[in-house]
Amino acid sequence: MIVIPAIDLKDGRCVRLAQGDFGRATVYADDPAVLASVWKQRGAERLHVVDLDGSLAGFPRHEAVIREIVAETGLPVEVGGGIRAMKTVETYLQSGVQWVILGTAALNDPEFVKEACLNFPGQVILGIDAVGGRVAVRGWTEKTEESAVEVALRFLEDRPAALIYTDISRDGMETGVNVAATLAMAEATGIPVIASGGVSGIRDIERLIPLENRGVIGVIAGKALYTGALSLTEAIDCANGVSRGV
């Protein structure tokens, strides 16, 4: 299982939101590329980057910063936020980004998502963000009545590389991953799932490890890394079986 540090971009800086609320943002770094290099030094093998401003605007707002992160670290990077046109997908992938995350588009423009999966096999990740099992879009500012599982099932034949399932009510709150909902998504869709939202400490990593052979392939950690509640090195060791002596 891979542990992926999260870097959320707002106004050129690295922030964390509480439950997706743009009015409850805490700044953790003024230079995201430097922070990304720190995560690399601590063992990160992949980075999760979200353009928060882009998610609201509907188009990228941090392309230059993201290019810098890719160039400075050399790590595989997955990027989401404001990717709603094929040109944006192409630009990101050509700049060295390994995967694009399509969230709002999965609900509002499914044909675009399907075309992206066809044109760039293995490089499109579905981002399904939900509150109470219902999908939220546009930087989580708009709630819908669509079931998270139902939305994901529409893209089975398109073979996305993975699906990031975020429980918004837990995101940035360090209250623990919604293990049951994450597992249900993996089993219902058969798409490899990356857990997101609520990681509070090493216990969450330990709870997710047994689910790896059931389709949960990774976990995104954000606020817990920034507050020190979770050590990235310890989390990676745990995920690799080091702390369990295997």
Q: Which of 51, 53, 129, 204 is catalytic?
A: 129
Is 21:239 a contact under the CB 8 Å cutoff? no
Per the annotation, the verdict on 237 as an active-site residue is: no
**What are 213's two structure tokens?**
């052979």
Which of 118, 72, 113 has its CA nearest to residue 96? 72
Distance of CA 234 to the CA centre of its chain: 20
Residues whose CB falls within 8 Å of the CB of residue 234, separated by 6 or more in sequence, listed in order: 202, 243
State how far the Cα of 88 lies from the Cα of 243, in Å rounded to an integer.
Answer: 41
Is 123:159 a contact under the CB 8 Å cutoff? no
Per the annotation, the verdict on 167 as an active-site residue is: no
Instruction: Please identify every residue annotated as catalytic.
Output: 8, 129
